[in-house]
Amino acid sequence: MLSDNVKLGDEHAPHRSLFNALGFTKDEMKKPMVGIVSSYNEIVPGHMNIDKIVEAVKLGVAEAGGMPVVFPAIAVCDGIAMGHIGMKYSLVTRDLIADSTECMAKAHQFDALVMVPNCDKNVPGLLMAAARVNVPTVFVSGGPMLAGHVHGKKTSLSSMFEAVGAKKAGNIDEKELNYFDEHTCPTCGSCSGMYTANSMNCLTEAIGMGLRGNGTIPAVYSERLRLAKMAGYAVMDMLKKNIRPRDIMTREAFMNALAVDMALGCSTNTMLHLPAIAHEAGVELNMEIANEVSDRTPNLCHLAPAGHTYMEDLNEAGGVYAVMNELSKKKLLDLDCMTVTGHTVGENIADVKNMNTEVIRPVEDPFMKEGGIAVLKGNIAPDTGVVKRSAVVPEMMVHEGPARVFDSEEDAIEAIYGGKIKPGDVVVIRYEGPKGGPGMREMLNPTSAIAGMGLGESVALITDGRFSGASRGASIGHVSPEAAVGGPIALIEEGDIIKIDIPANRLDVDVSDEVLASRKAKWQPKPAKVTEGYLARYEKMVTSGNRGAVLKIDN
């Protein structure tokens, strides 16, 4: 056992004295030491119940013969951080979480780990750490929030942001807005649509690092506590069998995750996180692969914001395993991949049934023949741009319109709420990428403002920033190279005609190569927005969005 490095032998008597100070008994010191990474805090609704999950995991580990030891991970609520400087500190926490968890696990020589994340950056950050540390590891999340109910209809956080736009447009009054904010988020848990947190928790199942139900069992269900105990049992079984994250997180597993991503219609943020996790596991996952997978993988689910079903509905329909079973009928998954259950994907999904074909369409009758995400290229995005195709209305799949150019999210919001954006326009928000932000802010406020003001079916938005999973419409993010490094998005001028063709995977500005070259010759980089603290260090090390915004000393 790794923990023998700090427990056995005369030379480790000082270490044992410190374990004695913690209250460990001699019998406990003989057991495998299992680190439980708790993302609990009192500011994130998706994390306020994690203390209960952690206690259940501890019980499961102890019952299975391990010694559970809890240590923390930070978490940011993207909803609370949205629309102000706080959003610069969201994506950047992914690397802090990975780094700090690696440090704790290695410093204290844990034999195994149970990760208890929930919201957007904790899941990928802890998956990155799991790949680095590579001791037996199981994930069990805090679970999704139940849908809200507004005037008898289910709803979620995206409708709350859109309600702000509706009030600005004069379509609802303050009383109605207040009714929305009191009824939209009714329980603890990660917000109830197929947003980034739920996307990543579902994909944790698809990769094989979480037990069945990890992504879909609601936070308030006691079934979630039973799952947590089972995670404790499972990690001890993995330890006995020596099954490690890199045995599970193979190239084939990531290809499975991409297929499930397309079928579920996940957040575009998965196109940042999957490459970053794969990178830590020693697997190259470029975004060109995403279109190959999307071309052959049908979109089977339209959860909010793409449709009117929610995580609780997906759970009742059979969850991620039911989606995977549908995909397996078309041989779209590698069924031989190992998982944390100690069984293969094929063994896990063999007897799972689709209990609601309105929530999970049969593979023969999908919502769309292609997957939910598309990667675009063109003279605006020579590397990549990403759009959640399943959340785009048909009339915006192909669109041309004049560019309305803004060098920050704040300037764009002011223009949208000021009535300066007209049907047909293409809003361009730049200098918000990983370096330019810094931190690659989510653009839920602008997309929600556009939708809330009745422009969602006529106005597109492109950015080198990113979008919340709650965004919908023709919202194209992750444009790479970003403006801060002189990418073509920096060269667009007010009134240029932008051409969007999602079926053809194209994103272009109707300007000649010669004119773009002339503009590039005159372009000058903007001064750094942040010159001290963590963000300044992040800006110097972060790579582009198409590379997962991973950190490297030499970009």
Three-state SS for 524-539 is CCCCCCCCCHHHHHHH
As given in the structure block, the two tokens for residue 222 are 């006691």
Strand partners, 403: 426
Residue pair 46/189 in contact by the 8 Å Cβ criterion: yes
Contact indicator for 54, 40 with CB cutoff of 8 Å = yes
Indicate which residue of 141, 468, 471, 480 is catalytic: 468
Distance CA 90, CA 66 (A): 34
If you ran DSSP here, which 8-state letter would residue 359 be given? T
Dist. CA 553–CA 197, nearest whole Å = 28
For residue 540, what are the contacts with CB-CB under 8 A and spacing of at least 6?
Answer: none
Please tell me the distance from the alpha carbon of residue 42 to that of residue 47, in angstroms, as a whole number: 7
- In the block, residue with structure tokens 């007010």: 494
Backbone angles phi, psi at 429, to 5 degrees: -115, 115
Both tokens assigned to 379: 């003279």
Detail the DSSP E strand segments found in 439-547: 460-463, 475-480, 497-501, 506-509
Which spans in 453-532 are helix H? 513-522
Spatial contact of 386 and 373, defined as CB atoms under 8 Å apart: yes
Strand positions, DSSP E, 6-122 = 33-38, 67-72, 112-116
Q: Please report the DSSP string for 442-453 in residue order.
A: B-HHHHHHHHHT
157-166: buried (b, 16+ CB within 10 Å) or exposed (e) per residue? bbbbbbbbbb
Tell me the one-letter amino acid at 539: E
Give residue for tokens 């007209």.
Answer: 422
State how far the Cα of 18 lies from the Cα of 109, in Å rounded to an integer: 14
Confirm whether 267 is a catalytic residue: no
Q: For residue 403, what are its two tokens?
A: 């560019």
| DSSP at 206 | H
Q: Which residues does 118 contact at the CB level (< 8 Å), separation at least 6?
A: 39, 44, 46, 47, 50, 75, 141, 142, 143, 189, 190, 197, 201, 219
User: Which residues are part of the catalytic machinery?
Assistant: 468
